[in-house]
Amino acid sequence: MYYFEKLKQATLVDKKVVTKVDKYIKTKYPNNTDSVNTSIIKDALNKVVNKELEELNITEKDDVINGVIEQAITNKGNDITKYDVLKVCSNIIDKQSSSIKEIGNWIENSVDYTVHKDEVVEFLDNIKGIDYLGDYSVVQTETHQEELVTIPHVVVKSTSDLMRAIKGFLTTLTAEEVYKIARRSFIAILIMTGAFYMFNESVGIAESNGGLTQKEYRSNLAEEYGVYSMELEKAKVNYDILACHPFLPDYFDYIEIDEMKLKEYLSKRNSLLIEDEYFYDIIQTSKEFNLNPLILFAITGQEQGFVPRENDDANKIVNNPFNVFISWRHYNTNIKDSSEIAARTVINLGKGAIEGQNIFKWINRLYADDPNWHKGVEELFWGMMEYCKA
């Protein structure tokens, strides 16, 4: 079943995605508690994972998605691969389920390889009931101390699962490695026995003195949950999946700008964008799309010279200073609407850039007919970054 190795190389959720979603939510809701932000992050990742698993047509899909999200949050420093999806499936889907065929189809589409139902069943059956937090293999780690054998952490749900896991694992070890594990296991058992004894002592004390305390605890917990629920309701976000853009450089991510310095910069150009009704709509859109606001301001500078007040059409141009949908003459709603379209366009056009490619030039290929558009935008962007000390 070599295709499992290919699935390990097929990234489903890039680790940068989780990091950027986390940063985006914390930036947008800086006053939220960690628990509220975690719930919002899960909701955001749900949209990301749902999009990535569109072709996995199984009845247990919601449970699989939730399992993948938990892995993504738990292992922030690692990519989530399509192989990880199968590991989640192994704990959720019964081998008699009609979903087995659909999983086989999903594997075939993912790796372009014909997969037989028996192969899928065999794989899911081999690891069913075990939650892997590491690869099913032995990793030898060289240190300045004695060489250690790192054992994958597993959570076993039945005796048969345990025996199957042990059998599969031990076949990969040498006699010397088995000895090392046995010696360490004996010491671990002694430690756990002592810990269990102390735990029972603590529980005994709590049970003999904790009647009133538990009642008060339940009351406090209910009160805290009520506050948490209100916070969560208040913090619900209409998350735009585009706000997660690992393919763009870090300096494209949203940052807090010295607003006084930026307004000073715009004032020198007699820009109508200095007015709060326009200025803060661009800032708000940038925040919603996790985009550096100076990117959007730089585009207005290149497209419309930051909308100088002396222009006879300034009050119309300011509704669409990005010239989305050809120009402000063809499309003229309001600056919030046009800034959102511009943000989506920039992010979408940033996809697929080759490593080392000038991102402004890459976006230029479809944003503007002028082949030198990117030079002006980039110069304005870095000029504002310097001026605002961002």
- Residue pLDDT tens, the chain, 390 long: 556 677 788 888 877 777 777 777 777 777 888 888 888 888 878 887 888 888 888 888 888 889 888 888 887 778 888 888 888 888 887 767 778 888 888 887 777 666 666 767 766 665 554 443 333 333 333 333 333 344 444 444 455 555 555 555 555 455 565 555 666 565 566 556 555 555 454 444 333 344 444 444 344 444 444 443 444 343 344 445 667 788 899 899 999 999 999 999 999 999 999 999 999 999 999 998 999 999 999 999 999 999 999 999 999 999 999 999 889 999 999 999 999 999 999 998 998 888 889 999 999 999 998 999 999 999 999 999 999 987
Distance (Å, whole) CA 335 – CA 90: 50
Helix (H, G, I), strand (E, B) or coil at 150: strand
What pLDDT is recorded for position 197?
A: 52
Q: Tell me, rounded to whole angstroms, the distance of Cα 73 from its chain centroid.
A: 8
What pLDDT is recorded for position 353?
A: 86
Question: Do 15 and 76 form a contact (C-beta atoms < 8 A)?
Answer: yes
Distance (Å, whole) CA 294 – CA 206: 58
* 274: its two tokens: 């200095």
- CA distances to 7, 19, 41, 342 from 23, rounded to whole Å, are 28, 6, 10, 22
Closest CA to 339 of 358, 357, 319: 319
Distance (Å, whole) CA 366 – CA 19: 29
The total number of residues written for the chain in this structure: 390
Verdict on whether the full-model pTM lies above 0.75: no
- CA distances to 203, 212, 215, 222, 275 from 209, rounded to whole Å, are 10, 8, 12, 22, 64
* Tokens 């390990």, located at residue: 8
Distance (Å, whole) CA 264 – CA 267: 5
Domain 247-387's class?
mainly alpha
Indicate the burial class of 4 (C-beta count within 10 angstroms; 0-12, 13-18, 19 or more): middle
51: left (phi over 0), alpha (psi -120 to 50) or beta: alpha
Angle between helices 211-234 and 34-52 (to 10 degrees): 50
What pLDDT is recorded for position 285?
A: 95
* Tokens 């189809």, located at residue: 105
**Which segments of the chain belong to CATH 1.10.530?**
247-387
